[in-house]
């Protein structure tokens, strides 16, 4: 059985809703044909509906992308490490993220994420972290378009993380940036020169707005993607 209990930062999340709910919550249209079903245990390299700016129409649209960013300058996809997270503190310094931060920001829809907390006996307890109001939210994301030497195109994304609030540090030292709803438009549309504004947004939702629930260890395997993965114990 493949396990992902020792994931770094944000390595698993859930989007347990229908595509129509994503479209309604984020006021977005489908930019391409895609199939989607509720996801209870999203893992890296999987295809997901990501929200980007349609620059020609100045609107939002959904685009399917793989989780794990491949920078456009990578020559060989097979030798590139998939970048599932980007640290907010260094997002403007790392070559893999600089251009995407300025030109390719995105919203990653979710309704919760998973973390694994180390217990006294050394075991890992899976936790599901959600908003107290149970509303859909968006992670702050970056995306890029990789093109192979044969012309093969692949769209990929990463989720930005930040230092965890004090309440969450016993769980993990870092947490994904969950955007405040009123910050989503600024994040996806704001001009290239507004770096300070964009960096300020990455403070994200406070841990006081979140709830933590222990869940079944079945979430440890990426092959399990059913409602039991998010059911509180």
Q: Give the separation between CA 52 and CA 218, rounded to whole angstroms.
A: 32
Q: Is residue 192 included in any domain, yes or no?
A: yes
pLDDT tens-digit map of 102-111: 999 999 999 9
pLDDT of residue 6: 36
pLDDT band at 193 (very low <50, low <70, confident <90, very high): low
pLDDT tens-digit map of 35-84: 899 999 999 999 999 999 987 667 899 999 999 999 999 887 776 789 99
Q: Is 10 considered catalytic here?
A: yes
Report the domain count for the chain: 1
Q: Is residue 1 included in any domain, yes or no?
A: no
Of 2, 219, 205, nearest to 116 by C-alpha is: 219
Q: Is residue 72 included in any domain, yes or no?
A: yes
Judge if pTM exceeds 0.75: yes
CATH at residue 151: 3.90.1680.10
Q: Is residue 139 included in any domain, yes or no?
A: yes
Q: Is residue 20 included in any domain, yes or no?
A: yes
Q: Is residue 4 included in any domain, yes or no?
A: no
53, 66, 115, 184: which one is catalytic? 115
**Residue 148 belongs to domain spanning:** 13-229
Of 43, 22, 45, 47, nearest to 35 by C-alpha is: 47
pLDDT band at 150 (very low <50, low <70, confident <90, very high): confident
Q: Is residue 6 included in any domain, yes or no?
A: no
Q: Is 53 considered catalytic here?
A: no
Which residue would you say has higher pLDDT here, 44 or 34? 44
Q: Is residue 3 included in any domain, yes or no?
A: no
10, 53, 66, 106: which one is catalytic? 10
pLDDT tens-digit map of 129-142: 999 999 999 999 99
Whether 178 and 161 have beta carbons less than 8 Å apart is answered as: no
């Amino acid at each position: 059985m493949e396990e992902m209990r020792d994931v770094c930062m944000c390595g698993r999340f859930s989007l347990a809703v229908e595509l129509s709910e994503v479209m309604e919550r984020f006021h977005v249209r489908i930019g391409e044909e895609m199939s989607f079903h509720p996801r209870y245990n999203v893992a890296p390299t999987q295809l997901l509906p990501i929200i980007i700016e349609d620059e020609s129409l100045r609107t939002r649209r959904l685009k399917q992308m793989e989780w794990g960013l491949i920078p456009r300058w990578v020559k060989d996809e097979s030798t590139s490490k998939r970048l599932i997270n980007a640290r907010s503190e260094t997002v403007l310094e790392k070559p893999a993220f600089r251009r995407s931060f300025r030109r390719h920001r995105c919203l990653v829809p979710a309704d919760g994420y998973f973390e694994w907390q180390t217990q006294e006996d050394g075991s890992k307890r899976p936790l599901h972290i959600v908003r107290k109001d149970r509303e859909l939210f968006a992670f702050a994301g970056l995306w890029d378009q990789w093109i192979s030497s044969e012309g093969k195109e692949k769209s990929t994304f990463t989720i930005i993380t930040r230092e965890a609030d004090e309440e969450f540090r016993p769980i993990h030292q870092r947490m994904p940036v969950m955007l405040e709803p009123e910050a989503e438009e600024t994040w996806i549309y704001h001009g290239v020169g507004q770096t300070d504004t964009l960096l300020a947004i990455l403070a994200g939702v406070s841990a006081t707005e979140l709830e933590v629930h222990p869940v079944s260890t079945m979430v440890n395997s990426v092959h399990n993607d059913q409602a039991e993965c998010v059911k509180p114990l």
